[in-house]
Structures are given as C-alpha cells and as structure tokens.
Amino acid sequence: MPTSSYAELCSLKREAATLASVAHLLGWDQETYMPSGGTAGRAEMSAAMAGLIHERETSKRLGELIAACASDKAVQTDDAAAANVREMRRDYDRATKLPKDLVTELANVGARSQDAWKDARKKSDFKAFQPWLEKMVALTRKKAECYGVPAGGELYDALLDEYEPDARAAEIEAVFNPLRDRLSGLVAELLDNGTPPDTASRKVHVPEAAQHAFGLKVIEQMGFDLTRGRLDTTTHPFCEGLAPGDTRLTTRYDENYFMAALYGIMHEAGHGLYEQGLPKQDAAGEPSSIYGTPLSEARSLGIHESQSRGWENFVGRGRAFWDWAKPVADGFFGSAFAKFSPDQVYRASNLVERSFIRVEADEATYNLHVMLRFGIERAMISGDLAIKDVPGEWNERFERMLGVKVPDDAQGCLQDVHWSFGLIGYFPTYTLGNLYAAQFFEAIREEAPDLDARIAKGDMSPVLDWTRKHIHSLGRRFTAAEICERATGKPLGPDPLMRHLEGKLRPIYGV
Ligand code: ZN
C-alpha cells in the first residue's frame, strides 16, 4: 500500500499533530495551573503556535501530496488509506478556503465581542450586545460563503460541516421536530401529573477531597487509564486528548452538590475514553504509524458527545450504577450519605425541572434547550431572523416549549458564550450526541443482555468493549451516519432516546 507520497503525507500530518499537542498543552495549562499574570504572555505563545500550525496545514507541499495520493491506484485500492486521504483533502480544502484577513478579523472581533457579551450578560442587556452579534453573524456568514453551500444544502450547512461533517440542517430538523413535540409532552406529563423524587441525597455536604477521590474510583471502573491520563480542577470543565498516551480531564467541585462534579467527571471521562481508544499509540506505547492522520482522530463532535453523554446518563444515571456506586461512595462521603438507599440516590439523580439554563438542565429538558438554539441560529444565518428580534423569538419559543416565561435575557438568549465568538452550527451536535448515545446503548444491550447485572457488580466492560470496537478504533474512517448504520443497523432516529427517557422517568414520577 504505502507509496512514498503517502508515507511523506502521513509524516507531514504527524509533525502538524505534534505541534498541535504543544498548543493543547499550553491551553490546558492556562485553564488549570497558570497564574493569572501569565495571560498576556500565554496569548503570544498560543498565537505563535497557531500560526505555525496553520502554515503546516495549508502548505503547498501538503496539497501536492494529497493530490498525488488521491489519484494513486495503490492508495485508492487500500480502503483505510483511501479514507485517510479523503479526510485529509477535506481538511486541506477547508483550511485553504478562508482568506487570512477573514480569519484574523474573526479572531479579533470575536475576542472583543466575547468581552461585550460577558458584560451584557451580567447586566442582562441585550441592546449592548446586539451590534456585536450583528458583526459576528455577518462575519460568520462570510466564512460560510467561503466554504460554499454543500450540494443540495443551505448556507448554515457550511458551518455545521465544521463540527458535524456531512450533516445537513434539513435532515437534523426532520429528526428534531418530532422529538421536540414528544419531549415537551413527556415533560408536561411528568411535571403536571407526576410526583417528583425526594432530592435530600443530592444535598449532602461532601468535601472536595472526598468527591475527587470518589471520582477517580468511578473513572477507573469505567476503564479510564490513569497512567495515560489525569484529572484536574478548572472553572469550565473540558477533556483534552493532549497527545498519544496523555488525555487530560478537568472538573469543578461544589461541596453542597456532589452530583455536579460526579456527572461532570463521568461526562469528561466518556470523552477521555474515546481519546484513549483512538489508534494514536502502538502496542509498545509509541506514537502509531497513523498518529496525526484522520484515522487516529475523533469522527465528529456529535459522536464525541455520544460517548460522554452515554457514560453520564445511560450508565451514571442508571439504577444499576448506584447498586455498585452507593457502597463505594459511602466509604468516601461518610454517614450523612450512608443513610440513603441506592434507589433513593438513583431517583434523585433523575430530577426533571423546567429551568432556564441549558448547562444545568436535566436529561428530559436538555434537548429542548438545544433545539431552540438550533432553530434560532439557523434563522440568523439564513437572514429570516433579524438580530434585534432574537430575544423576542427566543422567549416566545421557550414558552411554547416548556410553558414558562423567560424572566430576563441573562437567563434567555444571553446565557451561552458560543455565538459571541462565532460558534454557530455547534449546538445541534449536543442533541445529536444524545440521540447517538441512546441508539448505541440499545445495541450494547442487545449484545450484552445482562448489562445491568454486570454494571451493578462494577463490571462496565461491555460498554467499553463495544464502543472501542464500533467507534473508537475507527477514527474518521467512516462518516458519523455510516458509523451509526454499521454499528446499530439503522439510521439515526428519535425513538431510542424517547424509549430511554420514558422508560426511566415515568416510573420515577409514577405516571
Ligand atoms: Zn461534552
């Protein structure tokens, strides 16, 4: 298979990935241990790295090698190599389509717009943010126009493509619309006719050190390899697949609400297991021969999120998990927690609320928050919705969906950072992740019908083994839709998620 062009191509990608690792390490350090005085210096370091990486990603030599490999029979008859070159070409085309001055303008205006957003959110003053959002939407539209509208699609798809390659807004809408109605109906059924679970066990005071120790125990049980990863503290939790053999998880602690950190840690560890399962290392622990190429990279944000939400909600908020986890937690949390039964903690972990803030939303309402943003950002990009009308549109849609009035814009359209720096087309990947997770877990259960009995004993290997085989090891070889079809035998649909939520929440609420 490997011709000399293909080998040179892979080695160029590996060099670029190594530079990216250095940049990731700078970013991770900035979010965890860097003293605040280091901000300006770090910005220069990061910008220097970004420049170097961009040069590599858009180099003429890279383009020549991709073209040579794309027409090389030896590559084209090797399925893995052909997929690798297809994905490299896609990355190269995107990287070279944006003019440099647009990239700089997006970064500069984005940074100032984000500052303006912070201030506007604090004062709940949309008017102050409106001119910035207008600028950012205009620049983002320009960016989308540079990428070009994909065949049979719309301008928004060009943005979506960055986070969820090959997805189309119209196809997402076809899944989201029926899901929205069924979710709104379920939430109304639970909250209007049901009895909420007792939440006393959620409120037990647990010192940070005990939460951290328990969190480590849980992620080890999930299969996260702590000799190839770490868990640290930050303000905005994230996971970084920093380099081969080095995956960093972060979290934050609230001593009066341990579930925030616990489920945050499980969420990030789900991302981390994906990163550890990608073929970045060989058996001896050396960077693999495909490290840095698309075959060693995560498929999409939606697939990434399916791994994190899968562990967080389908394992962590499941009844079987607490059979194993409760006695373990008692050893760390002490007598105030020990008096609750596994069933009480399980029920408390599944409280449903009509709340305004997406990042604090429960499993049933979360996707409604996402769909609201998807509809609004798509209309902003198409031009159907003027920016000045965003708050009104937001509040009207919110009330229709959840039946409550948004009190102010800070708890409405100003709550998320994404739009302030041009992250448009990103939101739907959160719900795609939940949909994929539900569908994947039905397939896992089919293969391991005794899954609950095994999780109750602390054996989570059926989940890890299945995801390693059907998702992690494949990198970007297949599209997300192909991964889903190959692994579950069906295209992505809303039914598995609804079955999961109805099957779990109706008994808890007694409806
Ligand atoms: Zn996530």
- Helix, strand, coil in percent for the chain, rounding step 5: 70, 5, 25
Q: Are 315 and 384 found together in one domain?
A: yes
If you measure from the C-alpha of residue 455 to the centroid of ligand 1, how many angstroms do you get, rounded to a whole number? 22
Q: What is the pLDDT of residues 286-317, one digit of tens each?
A: 999 999 999 999 999 999 999 999 999 999 99
Q: Are 481 and 354 found together in one domain?
A: yes
Q: Are 93 and 9 found together in one domain?
A: yes
Cα angle at 377 between 373 and 382, to 5 degrees?
Answer: 150
Q: Are 133 and 17 found together in one domain?
A: yes
The total number of structural domains that make up the chain: 2
Instruction: Report the residue count for the chain.
Output: 511
Residue-number span of the structural domain to which 426 is assigned: 169-509
Q: How many of the other CB atoms lie within 10 Å of CB of 90?
A: 16
Q: Which of 113, 147, 181 delimits the end of a domain?
A: 147
Residue 281 DSSP code:
B
**The predicted structure's pLDDT at residue 285:** 93
Q: With respect to residue 457, please indicate whether it lies within any of the assigned structural domains.
A: yes
Residue with tokens 């065949």: 151
**The predicted structure's pLDDT at residue 156:** 98
Structure tokens that stand for 235 in this block: 């303000």
Q: Are 174 and 30 found together in one domain?
A: no
CATH number at residue 229: 1.10.1370.30
Q: Are 388 and 496 found together in one domain?
A: yes
Q: With respect to residue 160, please indicate whether it lies within any of the assigned structural domains.
A: no
CA 56/CA 184 separation, integer angstroms:
48
Q: What is the pLDDT of residues 169-216, one digit of tens each?
A: 999 999 999 999 999 999 999 999 999 999 999 999 999 999 999 999
Q: Is the pLDDT of residue 1 over 70?
A: no
* List 57, 268, 377, 393, catalytic entry: 268
**The predicted structure's pLDDT at residue 236:** 86
Q: What is the pLDDT of residues 433-458, one digit of tens each?
A: 999 999 999 999 999 999 999 999 99
The pLDDT of 404-431, averaged and rounded, is: 95
CA 396/CA 380 separation, integer angstroms:
16
**The predicted structure's pLDDT at residue 235:** 86
Closest to 450 measured CA to CA, from 436, 463, 439, 468 = 463
Q: Are 72 and 195 found together in one domain?
A: no
Q: Which of 147, 181, 206 delimits the end of a domain?
A: 147
The pLDDT of 256-267, averaged and rounded, is: 97
Q: Are 132 and 186 found together in one domain?
A: no
The pLDDT of 57-70, averaged and rounded, is: 96
For residue 232, list its beta bridge partners: 250
If you measure from the C-alpha of residue 27 to the centroid of ligand 1, how many angstroms do you get, rounded to a whole number? 17
If you measure from the C-alpha of residue 217 to the centroid of ligand 1, how many angstroms do you get, rounded to a whole number? 20
Q: With respect to residue 46, please indicate whether it lies within any of the assigned structural domains.
A: yes
**The predicted structure's pLDDT at residue 487:** 98
CA 475/CA 179 separation, integer angstroms:
29
CA 172/CA 265 separation, integer angstroms:
29
Residue 103 confidence class, pLDDT cut points 50, 70, 90:
confident
**The predicted structure's pLDDT at residue 40:** 87
If you measure from the C-alpha of residue 267 to the centroid of ligand 1, how many angstroms do you get, rounded to a whole number? 6
If you measure from the C-alpha of residue 147 to the centroid of ligand 1, how many angstroms do you get, rounded to a whole number? 26
String of DSSP letters for 428-453: HHHHHHHHHHHHHHHHHHHH-TTHHH
Q: Are 228 and 126 found together in one domain?
A: no
If you measure from the C-alpha of residue 193 to the centroid of ligand 1, how many angstroms do you get, rounded to a whole number? 32
Q: Are 108 and 176 found together in one domain?
A: no
Q: Are 200 and 142 found together in one domain?
A: no
Q: With respect to residue 267, please indicate whether it lies within any of the assigned structural domains.
A: yes
> At a CB cut-off of 8 Å and minimum separation 6, what does 400 contact?
none
Q: What is the pLDDT of residues 105-119, one digit of tens each?
A: 998 898 889 989 999
If you measure from the C-alpha of residue 271 to the centroid of ligand 1, how many angstroms do you get, rounded to a whole number? 7
Q: Please confirm, yes or no, whether 268 is among the known catalytic residues.
A: yes
If you measure from the C-alpha of residue 250 to the centroid of ligand 1, how many angstroms do you get, rounded to a whole number? 12
Q: With respect to residue 152, please indicate whether it lies within any of the assigned structural domains.
A: no
Q: With respect to residue 343, please indicate whether it lies within any of the assigned structural domains.
A: yes
Q: With respect to residue 67, please indicate whether it lies within any of the assigned structural domains.
A: yes
CA 202/CA 310 separation, integer angstroms:
21
Q: What is the pLDDT of residues 331-389, one digit of tens each?
A: 999 999 999 999 999 999 999 999 999 988 999 999 999 999 999 999 999 999 999 99
Q: Are 486 and 470 in contact (CB under 8 A)?
A: yes
Structure tokens that stand for 149 in this block: 């509208």
Q: Are 142 and 175 found together in one domain?
A: no
Residue 164 falls in which region: left (phi positive, over 0), alpha (psi -120 to 50) or beta: beta
**The predicted structure's pLDDT at residue 377:** 98
Residue 100 confidence class, pLDDT cut points 50, 70, 90:
confident
Q: Is the pLDDT of residue 3 over 90?
A: no
Q: With respect to residue 65, please indicate whether it lies within any of the assigned structural domains.
A: yes
Residue 2 confidence class, pLDDT cut points 50, 70, 90:
low
Q: Which of 84, 114, 147 delimits the end of a domain?
A: 147
If you measure from the C-alpha of residue 300 to the centroid of ligand 1, how many angstroms do you get, rounded to a whole number? 12
Q: Are 437 and 314 in contact (CB under 8 A)?
A: yes
Q: What is the pLDDT of residues 231-260, one digit of tens each?
A: 999 988 999 999 999 999 999 999 999 999
The pLDDT of 126-147, averaged and rounded, is: 97
If you measure from the C-alpha of residue 237 to the centroid of ligand 1, how many angstroms do you get, rounded to a whole number? 9
CA 392/CA 380 separation, integer angstroms:
13
Structure tokens that stand for 314 in this block: 């389908």
Structure tokens that stand for 39 in this block: 């901000």
If you measure from the C-alpha of residue 321 to the centroid of ligand 1, how many angstroms do you get, rounded to a whole number? 20
Q: Are 324 and 455 in contact (CB under 8 A)?
A: yes
Say how many Å lie between the first and final Cα of the chain, rounded: 60
